[in-house]
Amino acid sequence: MPTIILMGILALLVLVVVFMYNRLVTRRVRCNEAWSDIDTQLKRRYDLIPNLVEAVKGYAAHEKEVFTKVTEARAAAMQNQGSPAEQAKTENVLAGALKSLFAVSENYPDLKANQNFLQLQEELTDTENKIQAARRFYNTQTRDYNTVIETFPSKLIANMFKFEKRTFFELEDEKEREAVQVKF
């Protein structure tokens, strides 16, 4: 009789470990999927930027420094395959360079009325919104994954099978956290 009880307890323990392990794997796969969504949207952005730069170049040939910064920031962002924190840093540099490009476009009324430029600008804005949504989704999945890893008893299984915490995709530049002030 005690052997049957002991075997039952052991079987229950094995089932709990299998359940927790599978839960951890599911959360990790969701984080990977969410990160892949960010990559997809970033790729779309990288494909749009050269077209946007070319549209602006035709109108603002003497704004070479802005074009160079955008091109360099795009190249750096495309090459960065590091952690979410490292990628967030290069993405923030690229976002700043794009803001400069749009600021330049404000000086050229013909450019602002150009249908091709307007379409590219709209697509880029749409892509930026999708990137933000993908980042939020990734951060939600990361939060859920990290919570499972850090709570008892799944923490024991996570340590046993070497599941590691993920980092969030966060802003690096503190200025971007401040409220925008509009002055007329």
Please list, residue by residue across 56-78, b when 16 or more beta carbons sit within 10 angstroms of its beta carbon and e when fewer do: beebbeebeebbebbeebbeebe
| Cβ-based neighbours of 16, under 8 Å, separated by 6 or more | 153
Q: How high is the pLDDT of residue 94?
A: 83
* Ramachandran class of 150: left when φ > 0, alpha when ψ lies in -120 to 50, beta otherwise: alpha
172: tokens are 């690096």
pLDDT at 27: 96
Tell me what pLDDT residue 184 has.
28
Q: What's the rounded Cα separation, in Å, for the pair 106 and 180?
A: 19
Task: Give the three-class secondary structure for 157.
Answer: helix
Q: Which domains does the chain have, with CATH numbers?
A: 22-169 (1.20.1440.20)
pLDDT per residue as tens, the chain (184 positions): 689 999 999 999 999 999 999 999 999 999 999 999 998 898 888 888 888 777 777 666 656 777 778 888 888 888 887 777 788 788 888 888 887 777 777 776 666 667 777 788 888 889 889 999 999 999 999 999 999 999 999 999 999 999 999 999 876 665 554 544 434 2
